[in-house]
């Protein structure tokens, strides 16, 4: 069912320029706009082609061309076109993201005066250009930008100002920027956010701030509506940038800014975690045992960078550390072949064009828990499996956990499932190390010792341990039993394809 007009999160009658326009009849659209005796702008197959005898390759441009060299044509992929307008002085101005290296873009502008005979075509031509540049993506997104100034190495503000803000500005996004100034600040901001004023909350941070934003939105009286209406994006300014790797396909801030500008609304499963009397939302992962400990117990080794996780894991593998627990699971797909099939079925679908979920009404808070909480009896259709030699329980809602770790290659944003990995801790050391090294070569899924299933809920009850580590989205929570239940498509993100992660699948 499509959004009713008054419920359409994109609909703002005062802001019609944001909306993709109805297509113009092909015959009325000239592909080429003559902009002077020796210059023309042409809408090509995938790119805007600028032909100009006086064209000079801008300084710092990439791709091996000498700066300042004369060039007759330049091709700008439509994906890189940020904005175009017909100014009051009659000039056609095009803003685009120019590649300055393989991992960075920065805004560039070209302006031309159309020939007199072309003036009346110029507006239609610009509309066609924007149509190809944005497709089904919303133009001029209204963004609440949250910057964690202490993200990563403390460079959050600098990264935002130098690499992200210029791209957002060139794309004519409407920005309301706020700097987070304490732990939990993003929860408060999201909880108090006027959801009709914004389309996106853009977190210039690590994965910690989006975790807070979803939890803040979940505290609203109209949580279900807020979580669907507001798309959450992450732009890499932290030490853990998994969300950007998965949705934007990059941990480069400027490329992530471009991906956010062009992002398609994408339903995202969110998971309720209950522990004691507390309920929180998880968007990325949960881990218990070796994986959790390798991350959370190695804070003192931060100087090692991302190697601290590998080091932590190796030490525990060699020690054959085990973390006994009972795990109760609501399986959805319990064989690797089945998991692979589910992934391939979704991957074969065409890119999703529109977010057609009906927006929940104003009185809809978070969904009820179908399976109760960790304090209730285990539902009768779950399997209770003792794991006396558990090495790791690792549940993922996204593929990449870090740039070299596509831990959950079969994960999908909106299949209503978490991908659940269970690994014994007492396996042969050589096998364990081979499994670990296989992650960066995308072979982990196929290792026989890796138990990989899709589940819609589970509970873990640690045994014979007084203390230990549990990580939810990379943050430590108290050690003790917890339960996880997936809510299909409860949240909203922005992605390139509208339905997949930017990771090699299975
Ligand atoms: N100004 C601030 N001062 C202190 N903490 C903050 C501030 N702004 C945000 N935070 C907290 O910092 C935590 C981590 O944030 P984020 O994920 O953006 O960065 P990171 O560098 O990836 O973090 P991590 O230290 O977890 O690797 C979040 O829990 C957030 O609440």
Residue 250 belongs to domain with CATH number:
3.40.50.10330
Computed over every residue of the chain, the mean pLDDT equals 90
Which DSSP state fits 163? Answer: I
pLDDT-derived band at 373 (thresholds 50, 70, 90) equals very high
Alpha helices in 5-139, H assignment, sequence order: 119-134
Q: 190: how many CB neighbours lie within 10 A of its CB?
A: 28
Q: Is 37 helix (H, G, I), strand (E, B) or coil?
A: coil
- Mean of the pLDDT values across residues 119-130? 93
Burial tier of 283 (Cβ tally within 10 Å: 0-12, 13-18, 19+): buried
Q: How many domains does the chain have?
A: 3
User: What distance in Å separates the CA atoms of residue 299 and residue 209, rounded to the nearest whole number?
Assistant: 19
Angle at 259 between CA 257 and CA 260, to 5 degrees: 65
Position 26 pLDDT exceeds 80? no
**What is the Cα–Cα distance from 392 to 23, expressed in whole angstroms?**
52
DSSP state of 306: T
Contact 267, 478 (CB under 8 A): no
Residue after which a domain boundary falls, among 262, 284, 306: 262
Same domain as 453, residue 424 = yes
CB neighbour class for 431 (10 Å; exposed up to 12, middle 13-18, buried from 19): middle
Quote the tokens at residue 492: 């909203």
pLDDT on residue 6: 38
**458 shares its domain with 324:** yes
Place of tokens 């326009």: 21
The answer on 452 and 305 residing in a single domain is yes
Residues 111 and 156 both lie in one domain: no
More confident residue, 98 or 27: 98
Residue 350 CA: distances (Å) to CA of 346, 498, 505: 9, 9, 16
Distance (angstroms) between ligand 1 centre and the Cα of 138 equals 29
* Residue identifier of the C-alpha nearest atom 16 of ligand 1: 206
SS3 46: coil
Beta-carbon neighbour count of residue 289 at 10 Å?
28
CA 87 / ligand 1 centre spacing (Å): 42
If one counts every other C-beta atom within 10 angstroms of the C-beta of residue 186, the result is 25
Residue 270 CA to ligand 1 centre (angstroms): 21
Shared domain for 369 and 453, answered yes or no, is yes
Asked whether residue 15 is assigned to any structural domain, the reply reads: no
User: Does ligand 1 lie within 6 Å of residue 182's CB atom?
Assistant: yes
Residue 408 lies in a domain: yes
Residue 268 in domain = no
> pLDDT tens digit string along 259-274?
999 999 999 999 999 9
- Judge whether residue 1 has pLDDT over 60: no
The Cα 452–Cα 164 span in angstroms is 37
Q: How confident is the model at residue 145 (pLDDT cuts 50, 70, 90)?
A: very high
- Ligand 1 atom closest to the Cα of residue 181 is 1
Residue 100, domain CATH: 2.30.29
Q: Please tell me whether residues 129 and 168 are part of one structural domain.
A: no
- The most distant pair of C-alpha atoms in the chain lies apart, rounded to whole Å, by 83
171 within domain boundaries: yes
The answer to whether residue 257 scores a pLDDT higher than 90 is yes
Question: Long-range contacts of range 314-317, CB-CB < 8 Å, 24 or more positions apart?
Answer: 314/433, 314/436, 316/290, 316/391, 316/425, 317/290, 317/391, 317/429, 317/432, 317/433, 317/436
Q: Do 343 and 452 lie in a common domain?
A: yes
Instruction: Specify whether 321 is located in the same domain as 343.
Output: yes
Residue 161's pLDDT band (boundaries 50, 70, 90)? very high
Q: What is the CA radius of gyration of the chain?
A: 25
Q: What is the reported pLDDT for 29?
A: 62
Element (H, E) at 50: strand 47-52
Residues 296 and 366 in one domain: yes
Least confident of 96-110, 299-313, 365-379: 299-313
Nearby residues of 296 by Cβ (< 8 Å), 6 or more positions away: 469, 471, 476
CB-based contacts of 496, cutoff 8 Å, min separation 6: 247, 248, 249, 259, 262, 263, 264, 502
Say if 12 falls within a structural domain: no
Give me ligand 1 centre to Cα 181, in Å: 9
Q: Is the CB of 467 under 6 A from ligand 1?
A: no
Question: What percent of the chain lies above the pLDDT cut of 70?
Answer: 91
Residue 267's pLDDT is what? 97
Any idea what DSSP says for residue 70? Answer: B
Whether 7 shows a pLDDT value over 60: the answer reads no
Task: Give the confidence band of 106 by pLDDT, cuts at 50, 70, 90.
Answer: very high
The pLDDT, as a whole number, for residue 66 is 41
Mean pLDDT of 96-103: 96
Question: In terms of domains, do 288 and 399 share one?
Answer: yes
Which are the catalytic amino acids? 207
Report the distance separating Cα 460 and Cα 481, nearest Å.
6
79 phi and psi, to 5 degrees?
Answer: -55, -30
For residue 156 the two structure tokens come to 């959050």
Q: Is 491 in the pocket of ligand 1 (CB under 6 A)?
A: no
23 lines ligand 1 (CB under 6 A): no
Q: Are residues 238 and 308 in the same domain?
A: no
What's the pLDDT band for 336 if we cut at 50, 70, 90? Answer: very high
Determine the pLDDT at residue 437. 86
Q: CA 364 to CA 106: how far, in whole Å?
A: 41
Residue carrying the six token digits 């341990």: 465
Q: What CA–CA distances, in Å, run from 292 to 242, 367, 388?
A: 16, 28, 18
Higher pLDDT, 117 or 15: 117
Provide the 10 A C-beta neighbour count for residue 144: 24
Looking at residue 303, what is its pLDDT?
A: 77
Residue 325 tokens read as: 């627990």
How many angstroms separate the alpha carbon of residue 160 from the centre of ligand 1?
15
| For helices 307-318 and 429-438, angle between their N-to-C axes, nearest 10 degrees | 160
With the most atoms of ligand 1 within 8 angstroms of its CB, the residue from 145, 153, 205, 235 to mutate is 205
CB 391 near ligand 1, within 6 Å? no
Do 153 and 130 share a structural domain? no
Could you report the per-residue pLDDT of 50-70, keeping only the tens digit for each?
A: 999 877 666 555 544 444 455
Q: Does residue 277 have a pLDDT over 80?
A: yes
CA 207 to ligand 1: nearest atom: 17
At residue 445 the predicted structure's pLDDT band, cuts being 50, 70 and 90, is very high
4 compared with 293, residue with greater pLDDT: 293
pLDDT at 57: 62
Average pLDDT over residues 126-133: 97
Q: How confident is the model at residue 180 (pLDDT cuts 50, 70, 90)?
A: very high
Q: In the 8-state DSSP scheme, what is residue 58?
A: P
The pLDDT value recorded for residue 4 is 37
- Residue 65: its pLDDT value, please? 41
ipTM of the complex as predicted: 0.96
Q: What is the rounded CA–CA span in Å between residue 320 and residue 427?
A: 7
Give the pLDDT score at 2.
35
**Cα–ligand 1 centroid distance for 206 (angstroms):** 7
CATH code, 379: 2.60.200.40
Per-residue pLDDT at 59: 56
Q: Where are the alpha helices (DSSP H) in 377-462?
A: 429-438
Average pLDDT (386-406) is: 95
Boundaries of domain holding 224 = 142-262
**Cα 151 to ligand 1 centre (Å):** 6
- Does any domain span residue 315? yes
Predicted confidence at residue 45, as pLDDT, reads 95
pLDDT band at 3 (very low <50, low <70, confident <90, very high): very low
Which of 146, 149, 151, 185 for a ligand 1 pocket mutation test, highest count of atoms within 8 Å of Cβ? 151
Q: How far apart are CA 200 and CA 179, in angstroms?
A: 16
> In sequence order, which residues have a C-beta less than 8 Å from that of residue 171 and are 6 or more positions away?
82, 83, 95, 139, 140, 261
Mutation pick for ligand 1 pocket among 145, 146, 147, 183 (CB with most ligand atoms within 8 Å):
183
For residue 416, pLDDT beyond 70: yes
The ligand 1 atom at the shortest distance from the C-alpha of residue 149 is 1
Which pTM does this prediction carry? 0.91
pLDDT band at 404 (very low <50, low <70, confident <90, very high): confident
Is the C-beta atom of 150 inside 6 A of ligand 1?
A: yes
Region 155-164: mean pLDDT is 96
- pLDDT-based confidence at 399, cuts 50/70/90? very high
> What is the torsional sign of CA 295, 298, 304, 310?
negative
């Amino acid at each position: 069912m499509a959004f009713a007009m008054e419920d359409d999160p994109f609909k703002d009658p005062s802001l019609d320029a944001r909306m993709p326009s109805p297509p113009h009849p092909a015959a009325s659209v000239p592909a080429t706009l003559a902009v002077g005796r020796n210059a023309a702008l042409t809408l090509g197959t995938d790119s805007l082609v600028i032909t100009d005898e006086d064209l000079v390759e801008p300084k710092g441009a990439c791709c091996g061309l000498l700066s300042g060299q004369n060039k007759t044509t330049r091709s700008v992929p439509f994906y890189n076109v940020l904005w175009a307008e017909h100014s009051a002085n009659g000039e056609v101005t095009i803003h685009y993201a120019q590649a300055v290296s393989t991992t960075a873009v920065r805004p560039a502008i070209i302006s031309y005066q159309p020939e007199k005979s072309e003036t009346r075509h110029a507006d239609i031509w610009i509309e066609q250009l924007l149509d190809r540049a944005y497709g089904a993506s919303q133009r001029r997104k209204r963004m609440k930008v949250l910057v964690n100034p202490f993200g990563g190495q403390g460079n959050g503000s600098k990264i935002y100002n130098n690499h992200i803000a210029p791209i957002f500005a060139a794309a004519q996004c409407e920005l309301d920027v706020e700097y987070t100034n304490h732990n939990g600040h993003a929860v408060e901001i999201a909880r108090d956010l006027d959801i009709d004023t914004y389309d996106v909350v853009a977190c210039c941070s690590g994965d910690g701030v989006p975790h807070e934003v979803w939890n803040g939105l979940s505290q609203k009286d109209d949580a279900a509506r807020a979580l669907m209406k507001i798309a959450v994006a992450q732009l890499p300014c932290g030490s853990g940038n998994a969300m950007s790797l998965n949705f934007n396909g990059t941990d480069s801030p400027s490329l992530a800014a471009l991906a956010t500008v062009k992002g398609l609304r994408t339903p995202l499963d969110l998971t309720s975690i209950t522990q004691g009397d507390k309920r929180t939302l998880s968007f990325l992962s949960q881990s218990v045992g070796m994986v959790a400990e390798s991350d959370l117990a190695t804070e003192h080794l931060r100087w090692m960078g991302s190697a601290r996780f590998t080091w932590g894991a190796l030490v525990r593998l060699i020690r054959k550390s085990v973390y006994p627990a009972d795990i109760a699971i609501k399986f959805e797909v319990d064989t690797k072949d089945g998991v692979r099939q589910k992934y391939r079925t979704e991957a074969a679908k065409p890119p999703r064009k529109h977010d057609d979920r009906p927006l929940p009404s104003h009185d809809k808070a978070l969904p009820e828990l179908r399976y109760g909480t960790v304090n209730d009896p285990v539902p009768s259709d779950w399997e209770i499996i003792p794991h006396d030699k558990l090495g790791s329980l690792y549940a993922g809602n996204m593929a990449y956990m870090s740039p070299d770790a596509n831990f959950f290659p079969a994960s999908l944003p909106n299949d209503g499932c978490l991908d659940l990995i269970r690994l014994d801790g007492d396996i042969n050391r050589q096998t364990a190390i081979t499994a670990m090294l296989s992650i960066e070569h995308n072979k982990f899924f196929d290792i026989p010792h890796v138990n990989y299933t899709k589940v819609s809920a589970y509970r873990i009850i640690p045994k014979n341990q007084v203390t230990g580590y549990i990580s939810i989205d990379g943050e430590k929570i108290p050690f003790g039993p917890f339960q996880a239940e997936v809510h299909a498509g409860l949240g909203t993100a922005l992605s390139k394809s509208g339905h997949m992660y930017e990771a090699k699948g299975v």
